[in-house]
Structure 1
Amino acid sequence: MRDDVQVRFPAEERSAVPDPAAPRANAAPDAEPEIEPEIAPPPGDFAGARDGWLHWTHGLVNRLVKGADGFLLASAGLAAWAAWTNRTDGASFDNGRLLIQAVIFTAVTLGVYLRTMTTIGAYRVENYRHWGKSLLDVVGGLLPAGTVLSLLVWAFLPEVGPSDMLALWGGTALAFLGAGRMVAAHGVRFLEERGVLRRRVVILGATDVAERMIAHLSLPEHRANYSILGLFDDRDSDRRPASLAGLPVSGDLTDFKRFLPDNRVDMVVIALPWRAAMRIHSLRMQLQMISLDILIPLDEESIRLRLANLRHIGDIPALLVMRQPLRGMQIVVKRIEDVAVAGLGLLVASPFMLAASIAVRLDSPGPIIFRQTRVGFNNRPFTMLKFRTMKVDDSDDGAVGTSRDNPRITRVGRFLRRTSIDELPQLFNVLAGDMSVVGPRAHVPNMRVGNQRYAEVAREYAARSRVKPGITGWAQINGMRGGIHTVEKARVGVDMDIHYIENWSLWLDAKIIISTVTTGLFGRDVF
């Protein structure tokens, strides 16, 4: 979709959000809980996380430990093979054949070990804190893996004593993995002592449910894992309390959205009773553009769910109604992909970009680069870059897409659009971290379809902001290039964007990039 006019917005009046840690003048002496709620420190040390980049999470620690286990167990298997062949001096065996078999056996036992460890729930941060408990998990994973290895040796290497090989492998694997767990225990304690692994929680709803949640997370056993960053309520000021359980209510949902860009939040808890179903649904829809885990606490006495997507906040069960699309190592992989593809793209496209710059300058008056405010990750605005393809006109607000026969499109601009060269400056947006190579199309604020706002005709439109916008995307390679001027097409495009967000993988990104380069740069819908 082309929306090539400069949009100017009036300065937004940003009311200050009250400091959750500030003392309350009207607090009654008996309003404080027995244990003071934990208030998270200022967010400055986590500034990088606000842009969706890497920060320490339990999931990231678990993936690192799992990856270390895989490396250490593979190393132990090959080390055991090397020690055995050295001890037997080859013993009339074909060392080349043995090496291949050792690699295959190591891969099989590694798969069994990792599957077993995942099944028994060994990859949890709380298990790494104590080296002895963690070592028991390792033994539990090695037992079935060792059994499988014994069967493989007995079936395919009858000339090798299975007991000798198993003892050598088991001792080496236990030593390697035990050392790794010791490092993990020290690492987790190091991170926890500095509060790095604390999940920063915002509670929505000043209710009895919120009061129970605050008291629960303030217990000593949970203070190391959770910090309450703020308490907000969606009701009008005359209906919401000034404070609850020792915490001030810092405003309504608008205040929370203003609070979010400057604070790292890991989890939003909708602390409303389940009888307020319509209010819960309204809050969930208003928060769908935020890339966070959103949970609703459950009352085990009245609601028992078996197959639902359940999580725990401390020891309180909660229903996960919205999940952060990318987390942990996925964020790292996505960012590496973006930097690599954008860097390579700029290297290859630099001659075309230089020629386009000269052509735009000579063709019509105005800047070479067109800058426009678009809606980005977590619904935050950013400045998107493109080659200017239209005559300058500040009277158009850009909220309605450009049509194919727009008279403002210049001669050079029409060629740049047909070849998609006008999009190339967005590679700089990718390197800056505002965009991704692949993702939903970045729209201007208050984008319209005809006379209606996009957000009004497509119910899940705001959820597109839960990942960074992209230069290309799943919708673009499936017929959503060019103008979107009907409600039906708008809804289909949003459904495709949501499909991409919910099914992201590195392979899907590669498929979209290849399709864009081979077939998506040109075509009837590109103008």
Structure 2
Amino acid sequence: MRDDVQVRLPVEERNAVPDPAEPPQAAAPASGDFTGARDGWLHWTHGLVNRLAMGADGLLLVLAGLAAWAVWAAWTNAAGPSLDDALPLVEAVLFTAVTLAVYQRAMTTIGAYRVENYRHWGKALLDVIGGLLPAGTVLSLLVWAFLPEVDPSGMLALWAGVALAFLGAGRAMAALGVRLLEERGVLRRRVVVFGATDAAERMITNLMLPEHRANYSILGLFDDRGTDRRPESLAGFPVSGDLLDFKRFLRDNRVDMIVIALPWRAALRIHGLCMQLQMISLDILIPLDEENSRLRLANMRHVGDVRHIGNVPALLVMRQPLRGMQIVMKRIEDVAVAGLGLLVASPVMLAAAIAIRLDSPGPVIFRQTRVGFNNRPFTMLKFRTMAVDDRDDGAGGTRRDDPRITRVGRFLRRTSIDELPQLFNVLTGDMSVVGPRAHVPNMRVGNHRYADVVREYAARSRVKPGITGWAQINGMRGGIHTVEKARVGVDMDIHYVENWSLWLDARIIISTVTTGLFGRDVF
């Protein structure tokens, strides 16, 4: 989608960023800049620790097999048949893969991959034994079925002992690591409670219990009512302000979870708050009422919308799209693809820069403020393809056969070469290779602000904007000048946000390279 306009604003306008604390317009409730929310890079979470523990188990189990194999090979007599010379490499790899899969499946089934289990070394060792028993049984059956001429008892006993030693040592290191992380407070989920209500008091009291303090940290309490209607404090926590104060707090502080502790009968207030916060990449939960929590749990458990905050059941109404290892994997993907892209495209970029300089006056690189992750502004880079225009703010987008497009610029746009400098935005972390298109602030569709006519528009900001995206490979390139097309594009962006995977990114990148760089809608 071509939403850019090559402009050079006066200095005071270029440097101006809308104040996120200003009251939003009634028709555009999803406004605000929350610079204190997650920065889209690595953050320690329970899920990340569990994935690291699972990966460490896999590595240690493979090393244990290799070590046991080496010791057994040194002990066996080369004159008679033994396991080390009877088992080909392919079968050895197969046995290892199956054993590892059974072990990790068993560990997952018994709930061993949970942070609270790593804190106590004795409990963790029992979990390891519980995983090794079925894995060892399966390994014995494989050897018996494929190598009937070999007595595997000695080798299997050695393997079990070495594996137990290696995995036990790994659990001891995990216990030490979790203890250090908890002492530093990095595993605590940072919670903000909104609404000075009885539900909020129950939530705060619960999270302050000793068994929950290692997992949760309450950062603040806010309420949208006026000072004459809200209490000054609740459960020992001061009420820090109203919705505007809440937004200022989110701008300057990292928050993992927002608990909207309003009564369920205040559905309109809850909906309004969710719309205000839809662009933030975090979890938003609403505690379930005591009188109907059992009914709600029975009806909703199958769709996975019920979570527990401490011991309190709550409905998850919005979740952070990427977390833990997913953030790491996507960042690795971005750096690898952007680095390779710059290496391959550097001659083309050099030729484009020379052509722009010779074709028309003005800078080679066009810089423009765009809306990025968590609704933060950033400066996006592109090759300049239009004549410099001081009169346009860029919110109206670009149309086919726009007279401002230069001769060289038209070619660069038709071939998508003008997008290549955004690879530098990817390396700096402002953008991703794949994600929703980065729009200018107050982007318009027709005569209306995008956020006014598509209420879910701001939810696109829950992931980093991308050079290409799911909407772009599905017909959303070119100008978007109708409300209907705008809504379809936002629906596609939200589909990507809620269904992200490395495989989906790979599909989008391949489709962009093979078919999406050119076409009727590229201008």
Q: Does the alignment reach a TM-score above 0.5?
A: yes
Change (3 A) 1:439 1:476: same
Which stretch of structure 1 is more off in the superposition, 439-448 or 299-308?
299-308
1:466 partner amino acid: R
User: C-alpha offsets along residues 285-333 of structure 1, whole Å, 9 cap, x if unaligned?
Assistant: 2211110011122245422213242222122222222111111111111
1:405 pairs with 2:405: no
Residues of 2 paired with 1:162 and 1:301: CA distance? 60
Residues of 2 paired with 1:448 and 1:361: CA distance? 31
Residue of structure 1 equivalent to 2:186: 196
Residue of structure 2 equivalent to 1:446: 442
Please point out which of 252, 258, 264 is paired with 1:274. Answer: 264
Contact (CA 8 Å) 2:6, 2:385: kept in 1 or not? no
Residue of structure 2 equivalent to 1:171: 161
Shift of 1:87: 2.3
1:187 partner amino acid: G
Residue of structure 2 equivalent to 1:41: none
Residue of structure 1 equivalent to 2:29: none
Contact (CA 8 Å) 1:232, 1:250: kept in 2 or not? yes
Residue of structure 2 equivalent to 1:92: 81
Contact (CA 8 Å) 2:305, 2:316: kept in 1 or not? yes
Question: Alignment partner of 2:185: what SS?
Answer: coil
Residue of structure 1 equivalent to 2:412: 416
Please point out which of 358, 361, 366 is paired with 1:365. Answer: 361
User: C-alpha offsets along residues 464-483 of structure 1, whole Å, 9 cap, x if unaligned?
Assistant: 10000000111111111110
Please point out which of 47, 50, 54 is paired with 2:42. Answer: 54
User: C-alpha offsets along residues 197-255 of structure 1, whole Å, 9 cap, x if unaligned?
Assistant: 11111111121111111122222222222111112223344433333222222233333
Residue of structure 1 equivalent to 2:61: 73
Change (3 A) 1:507 1:13: closer
Residues of 1 paired with 2:364 and 2:415: CA distance? 17
Contact (CA 8 Å) 2:3, 2:439: kept in 1 or not? no
Alignment of 1:222-241 (within 5 A): 222-241=212-231
Change (3 A) 1:144 1:48: farther
Residue of structure 2 equivalent to 1:342: 338
Residue of structure 2 equivalent to 1:216: 206
Shift of 1:67: 0.4
Residues of 2 paired with 1:259 and 1:361: CA distance? 45
1:269 partner amino acid: V
> What TM-score, normalized to structure 1?
0.90
Contact (CA 8 Å) 1:130, 1:185: kept in 2 or not? yes
1:193 partner amino acid: E
Which stretch of structure 1 is more off in the superposition, 355-364 or 467-476?
355-364
2:505 partner amino acid: D
Residues of 2 paired with 1:11 and 1:168: CA distance? 66
Change (3 A) 1:158 1:170: same
* Structure with higher RCO (Cα < 8 A, 6+ apart): 2
Shift of 1:78: 2.8
Residues of 2 paired with 1:492 and 1:148: CA distance? 51
> What TM-score, normalized to structure 2?
0.90
Change (3 A) 1:481 1:145: same
Residues of 2 paired with 1:332 and 1:102: CA distance? 32
Residue of structure 2 equivalent to 1:512: 508
Residues of 1 paired with 2:19 and 2:509: CA distance? 40
Contact (CA 8 Å) 1:78, 1:106: kept in 2 or not? no
Unaligned runs of 5+ in 2: 23-34
Contact (CA 8 Å) 1:48, 1:54: kept in 2 or not? no
Change (3 A) 1:49 1:375: closer
Residues of 2 paired with 1:256 and 1:410: CA distance? 46
Please point out which of 458, 462, 486 is paired with 2:458. Answer: 462
Which stretch of structure 1 is more off in the superposition, 462-471 or 102-111?
102-111
Shift of 1:393: 1.6
Unaligned runs of 5+ in 1: 17-46
Residues of 2 paired with 1:525 and 1:132: CA distance? 63
Question: Alignment partner of 1:182: what SS?
Answer: helix
User: C-alpha offsets along residues 367-419 of structure 1, whole Å, 9 cap, x if unaligned?
Assistant: 22111111100111111111111122222222222101211111111111111
1:222 partner amino acid: H
Residue of structure 1 equivalent to 2:28: none
Please point out which of 322, 326, 341 is paired with 2:322. Answer: 326
Residue of structure 1 equivalent to 2:115: 125
Residue of structure 2 equivalent to 1:21: none
Residue of structure 2 equivalent to 1:298: 288
User: C-alpha offsets along residues 80-104 of structure 1, whole Å, 9 cap, x if unaligned?
Assistant: 2333333223433572744332221
Question: Alignment partner of 1:302: what SS?
Answer: helix
Residue of structure 2 equivalent to 1:155: 145
2:451 partner amino acid: A
Question: Alignment partner of 1:327: what SS?
Answer: coil
Change (3 A) 1:469 1:504: same
1:4 pairs with 2:17: no
Question: Alignment partner of 1:384: what SS?
Answer: strand
User: C-alpha offsets along residues 155-199 of structure 1, whole Å, 9 cap, x if unaligned?
Assistant: 112222343333222112111110100000111111111112111
Contact (CA 8 Å) 1:50, 1:262: kept in 2 or not? no
2:467 partner amino acid: I
Superposition RMSD on alpha carbons, in Å? Answer: 2.1
Residue of structure 2 equivalent to 1:243: 233
Question: Alignment partner of 2:259: what SS?
Answer: strand
Residues of 2 paired with 1:318 and 1:212: CA distance? 12
Change (3 A) 1:13 1:513: closer
